[in-house]
Amino acid sequence: MGAKSFDSHESGIITRSSDESLHARIELFEMSKSYPATDTERERSAGLFLRASLLARFLAVYEIYKRIVSLPGAVFDIGTWRGQTAVLLENFRAILEPLNLDRRIFAFDTFLGYQGFTDQDRATELHRNGTYSVGEDYPELLSRILELHEKSNALGHYRGKHLVVSGDIRETLPELLDEHPELFVSLAFIDLNSVEPTEAVLETLWERIIPNGVVAFWQLTQPKIPGDGMAYVKAVLKLRSHRIERSEIYPGLCFITKVC
């Protein structure tokens, strides 16, 4: 089996991994589908096939979530795609602050692929308007996945801590904030990869980020996907009311902390 099996996703193309490493990743994935165990044992053995780079991504979300445990406010995952980060946020909420039933998690996406790429973006076959579509029915599926995680976590009978928001973030975010003037934000993950939507989000959201709140970017310093970095320079860098750091665990994840 060749490494090209993962070529349709950026992790198999924009990578520093060797062919040998990519082949090993594919073999692990194939083994996970045929691992000789009962369903119960297989469900509890996911760590056997969780590669280090993906585990580092999970731990980086945990690293950042720890920073906002003592802060009030909602958590936003903007550009959630399939919702993996949103699910991690729910599970870290349940681990780190199981009694905080007021922490709400919002997952935003068009679910029909990227939108907002213009001439200033360096569009590619992977990153352009319409790529990474998961289908118009996906918001319902993601809502159900989040609900099931919520049910299986501590105090799972208290539900409704999540909302999946479908549509162009340039429209849905202002609408949500207008509908909820009481809403403020302690943590926002942004993964839009195009300048105009990212800049619009930063300008709209910044006033709702509380002091010591965090805004995190998966692609801020990625030269092949420059949209987040360009928007940061245009919308935030000129402000002095923040500091910027990168994850100790997953260097590609950078985050800014609002200071007053």
Which CATH number does the domain housing residue 98 bear?
Answer: 3.40.50.150
Residues 40 and 61 in one domain: no
State how beta strands 105-109 and 242-246 pair. unpaired
**94: confidence class by pLDDT, cuts 50, 70, 90:** very high
pLDDT at 93: 97
**What's this model's pTM, rounded to 2 decimal places?**
0.90
Residues 92 and 174 in one domain: yes
Write the pLDDT tens digit of every residue in 6-46.
Answer: 555 555 555 667 888 889 999 999 999 999 999 999 999 99
pLDDT at 1: 40
Residues 202 and 87 in one domain: yes
Residue 188 structure tokens:
């926002």
Greatest mean pLDDT range, 1-15, 65-79, 153-167: 65-79
CB atoms within 10 A of CB 33: 8
Residues 35 and 120 in one domain: no
Residue 170 has pLDDT above 90, yes or no: yes
State how beta strands 209-217 and 254-258 pair. antiparallel
Residues 16 and 97 in one domain: no
Q: What is the enclosing helix (H) or strand (E) of 43?
A: helix 39-43
Residues 17 and 131 in one domain: no
**Residues facing 216 on adjacent strands:** 189, 255
Could you list the residue range(s) of the whole structural domain that residue 46 is in? 1-50
Q: How many residues does the chain have?
A: 260
Residues 134 and 200 in one domain: yes
Residues 29 and 136 in one domain: no
Alpha-carbon 190 to chain mean position? 7
Q: What average pLDDT does the structure give for the chain? A: 91
pLDDT at 233: 85
Write the pLDDT tens digit of every residue in 46-68.
Answer: 999 999 999 999 999 999 999 99
State how beta strands 74-78 and 105-109 pair. parallel
Residues 106 and 142 in one domain: yes
Residues 58 and 147 in one domain: yes
**Order of all β-strands in the sheet with 185-190:** 162-166, 105-109, 74-78, 185-190, 209-217, 254-258, 242-246
Q: What is the largest CA-CA distance in the chain?
A: 56
CA atoms within 13 A on the CB side of 200: 17
Say how many domains are in the chain. 2
Residues 44 and 74 in one domain: no
User: Which of the two residues, 214 and 231, has the higher pLDDT score?
Assistant: 214
